[in-house]
Structure 1
Amino acid sequence: MIIRRKEKWKEIIEAQKQSGLTIKKYCTDNHICISSFYKQKALILEEENTFLPVVIDKGNDNIDFEIDHHHISCSKHNLKYLLENLL
């Protein structure tokens, strides 16, 4: 029962991403509680312990990666500072 529920939430979260709608709009249109959506998304991400592949080019001062279809570019210095302060 729990597995089916988790799989259903994974389908809902993926459908929202594919829809191109904001979470708020998708949840409203599909009669889904927004706070439940965020809670389930956080639980799934925590459980999956997702790692992001990052390629570092030593000849370039920037590090580029993508999260949920968003491109992020950050200098190595700023990324180091950010990570040190998060940990």
Structure 2
Amino acid sequence: MDELNLRGYRTKKGKPFSKNSIYEILKNEKYTGKYIFNKGTKKNHRMVKEDIIVIDNAIPAIIDEDLFREVQKKMEENKRQQTSYTA
């Protein structure tokens, strides 16, 4: 993230990259070519599973599905390790 900021890159909102913005990029299925409708937003927290529409290959994929799933698995493992911290 530091390298992105040093090079002058910004998020879509024009802000410097942070851990959260990188996390959101890594969680975004759009990069695998999927387009998802009705998933809800952070603003309204609407997550009604039966209303979600997923269209595969709707947009050009820039990473393959296997790599995306591997990253998701690694992120989940890292999340579990961080919560097991004891002082």
TM-score, normalised relative to structure 2: 0.32
More helix by share: 1
More strand by share: 1
Q: Which structure's relative contact order is higher, taking Cα pairs within 8 Å and 6+ residues apart?
A: 2
Larger radius of gyration: 1
